[in-house]
Amino acid sequence: MGVEPMSSPDRGEPEVPGDAPGRRVSCGGHRGTVRYVGAVPPSTGLWLGVEWDDPERGKHDGSHEGVQYFTCRLPGGGSFVRPKKLSFGVDFLAAARARYELDVQEATQSLQLLGQKKMSLFQFPNVCLEGREVNGPGLQGDIRTSSPDVRSLNLSGNLLSCWEDVAGITQHMEGLRCLLLSSNRLHLPSDPLTLRHAFSNLTELSLNSCALTWPQLLQCAPMWPQLEELYVAKNHITELQRPVDVLQDLRVLDLSSNNLQQHSLTSLAQLPRLENLNLLNTGVSVLRFNDVPHGGKTEQFPALKVLVLDDNNISEWAVVNELEKLRSLAELSCRRNNLLSTDANPETVKQLFIAKLGQLSMLNRIQVSPEDRKGAELDYIKLFGEEWLKTGGHRDPEQSRPSAAFTSQHPRYQALIQKYGAPEDGELRKQQPFTLKNHLIGITFVCPGDTERKPIVKKLPGSMVVQKVKGLLHRLLKLPAAELTLSYTSSKMEGTEVQIDNDLKTLQFYSIEDGDSVLVRWS
């Protein structure tokens, strides 16, 4: 019937808090929110209806035998549980004493040997209570006396249910600068300004995996007047809206692993101090800064120095041309996208990035040296020199009239000609045609769990999706494709095994190169 099994339901039940609905609970390492308290006929006794953070933990949508007792955001995310199986957690000080009291006693003994005063409970600048089932502040007066020097507090993965409870803890830590609240579920405050004093000096906040939307974050933002770093990966953020009178001091923003509506990215463009933006795995395929033509510098994202675009759907070099319009961009990571060169050579792709982005000092977390830049720019001139000449370019600057189409595809080309001079006939490189043969990747398939199976070497197109690769392996290995899990290793990343976890992505998306090994496992 979709309820947690339990014997003797009417005897020995713990007392359920009167404010249980909305409270956070844990059971067997899983966290959830109480949505219902009461009977579930025809069974007897008290049940709690819980919506689990992980919907795989649940059994139904909050209904039983046609009666809807509560609702869940995702189908199958709920279940009914007996009270004695659930923990409502402990207060902040109880968790802190369990975690730190022994350390304090040892530190105090050492201080006494030196003739110094006794150490308070939190005379540590960094306090970590991650996963300690903290549910609220407890006796607040004791927090102030025991935690005078806390600057960084980690309360991730706890049972906090509202911002008022968080404020009840942090308002006594006047030196607090960094607060980690990831993997909690917090009710929004009715009036955020009333809690502002509890976070007045906060500069760094982590809210990863908190099931938050962007409007909800903006609603909370008045609580954080000095915030400089905000980490909100793996939330329910889709469409972004412009922050008005909030988050204006933000320097770092992590939006990774949110399914963003990319047209709304420009809503962040006027944040005056934003230096570091993480858009990893957010579905980005297009970026445009239409306020200036190619060759100009946009007024959008004026301070942006570091941009992460890994694991997206970027397949057009026009996106990279747009990035050249950013006036401050110095570091870019754009790995595991679908950007290709005509020779299907990863080294050529690297050179194209460097040549197209004149201010880049770091690419894919690797320093761009002056030698790298000079070599990339010279090769770029030679690679597209023939096309430049055919579309109106000329070695005599006064006669050079490259077409608008060429200039839009290669906005830095003319500046590079002025820097290095036009390529001579003998320097021009004939571009290879974009054919399947040029993009075949030699892959060795290895079955580490079955040493009797010999490695299989296949040449596959880099554009082949993982789903089709599994279909091929199904035919070769006589194993169900649905049971196969893949990863790969490369001589360029010794000791590293990269998971291939999306069946709809291509081999190129995962940066699999000629000579790499794909490890095949099955359940």
Strand, coil or helix: what is 264? helix
Would strands 178-180 and 134-136 be described as parallel, antiparallel, or unpaired?
unpaired
Give Cα separations from 284 to 234, 306, 315, 505 (angstroms). Answer: 15, 16, 10, 14
Q: Give the pLDDT score at 347.
A: 87
Mean pLDDT of 219-229: 98
The one-letter code for the residue type at 520 is V
Instruction: Give the pLDDT band of residue 492 (cuts 50, 70, 90).
Output: confident
Q: Give the pLDDT score at 120.
A: 54
CA angle 366/369/374 to nearest 5° reads 125
Mean pLDDT of 151-180: 95
Query: Residue 448, CB half-sphere, CA atoms under 13 Å: how many?
Result: 11
CATH architecture of 24-85: Roll (2.30)
Q: Which residue has the tokens 């300004």?
A: 193
State percent of the chain over pLDDT 90. Answer: 63
Whole-number average pLDDT of the chain: 87
Let me know: does 242 contact 266? Beta carbons within 8 Å: no
Give the residue, 425 or 284, on which the prediction is more confident.
284
CATH architecture of 124-372: Alpha-Beta Horseshoe (3.80)
Flag whether pLDDT at 3 surpasses 70: no
Let me know: does 265 contact 300? Beta carbons within 8 Å: no
Instruction: Give the pLDDT band of residue 17 (cuts 50, 70, 90).
Output: confident
Q: Give the pLDDT score at 5.
A: 42
Distance CA 26, CA 420 (A): 65
- Domain boundaries along the sequence of the chain: 24-85, 124-372, 436-522
Instruction: Give the pLDDT band of residue 246 (cuts 50, 70, 90).
Output: very high
Strand, coil or helix: what is 128? strand
Q: Give the pLDDT score at 40.
A: 93
Give the residue, 5 or 502, on which the prediction is more confident.
502
Q: Which two tokens stand for residue 324?
A: 């050249």
Flag whether pLDDT at 513 surpasses 90: no
Q: What is the pLDDT of residues 66-120, one digit of tens each?
A: 899 999 988 889 999 999 999 999 999 889 888 887 544 444 444 344 444 444 5
- Helix-strand-coil split of the chain, %, nearest 5: 30, 20, 55
Please provide the DSSP assignment of 319-348 as one string: HHHHHTT-SS--EEE--SS----TT--HHH
Distance CA 355, CA 419 (A): 12
Give the residue, 12 or 272, on which the prediction is more confident.
272
Range in 90-104, 175-189, 201-215, 457-471 the model is least confident about: 90-104
0.85 surpassed by pTM:
no
Mean pLDDT of 33-55: 92
Flag whether pLDDT at 436 surpasses 70: no
Q: Give the pLDDT score at 423.
A: 85
Where does 436-522 sit in CATH, by number? 3.10.20.90
Distance CA 69, CA 49 (A): 8
